[in-house]
Amino acid sequence: MSDINIVDAPPGIEGSGFFATSLDKVIGLARSHSLWPLPFATSCCGIEFMATMGSHYDFGRFGSERLSFSPRQADLLMVMGTIAKKMSPVLKQVYLQMAEPRWVMAVGACASSGGIFDTYSVLQGIDEIIPVDVYVPGCPPRPEAILDGFGKIQELVKNESGRRRNSDQYREMLASYGIQ
């Protein structure tokens, strides 16, 4: 007997021998439970992420057992820690190397807003250079907060329209960051 839970099917029309739902929902369901995160850890938030990956908090429960250390195979960029302005071209390059669809999570006060480093050498939030989907507050956030933020990302992934990444609105948003 196994006590493993399986996610519920998306809403759809069911009958004998068939089940009909929209492709977006099926793809979203599959994607959201197998996100490959790329940890971009530069400081103490990265240490909290290590705890999140560890057996006690077990990030793998949410389908993110497999970290991707190549941006080309990653779905989710997790920026954890202070990003100095000198580092920002590197972070942007990593983001550009990720294939669509891609999501970004800013973990902690520094990645979200510069945090206590209100100074000339530190980027005042990574949203100055790349678009961010979810911000996780905290200095550093506890693993529970990181998991909660990841849950928010999963909701975004589940409910994203398959056409969103091709829309003019999305292109304009990227263009506002000087991408494409």
Contact 47, 57 (CB under 8 A): no
178 near other proteins, judged by CB under 8 A = no
From 10, 71, 124, 179, residue interacting with other proteins (rule: CB under 8 A): 124
Q: Minimal distance in Å, beta carbon 95 to other proteins? A: 18
Taking the least distance from each CB to other proteins, the nearer of 137 and 162 is 137
Which residues does residue 39 pair with via DSSP β-bridges, in sequence order? Answer: 78
What's the CA gap between 102 and 140, in Å, rounded? 24
Taking the least distance from each CB to other proteins, the nearer of 51 and 94 is 94
Q: Minimal distance in Å, beta carbon 126 to other proteins? A: 15
Say which residues have a Cβ less than 8 Å from residue 10's Cβ, sequence separation at least 6.
21, 22, 25, 26, 28, 29
What's the CA gap between 101 and 56, in Å, rounded? 30
Say which residues have a Cβ less than 8 Å from residue 4's Cβ, sequence separation at least 6.
none
Q: Minimal distance in Å, beta carbon 123 to other proteins? A: 10
Q: Minimal distance in Å, beta carbon 86 to other proteins? A: 4
118 near other proteins, judged by CB under 8 A = yes
Contact 140, 45 (CB under 8 A): yes
Q: Minimal distance in Å, beta carbon 87 to other proteins? A: 9
Asked if residue 140 has a cis previous peptide bond (ω within 30° of 0), the answer is: yes
Which of the ranges 9-17, 59-67, 91-99, 113-121 carries the binding residues for other proteins, by CB under 8 A?
113-121
85 near other proteins, judged by CB under 8 A = yes
Taking the least distance from each CB to other proteins, the nearer of 35 and 110 is 110
- Spatial CA neighbour of 105 closest among 153, 68, 71: 153
121 near other proteins, judged by CB under 8 A = yes
The site for other proteins (CB under 8 A) is made up of 84-86, 88, 118, 120-121, 124
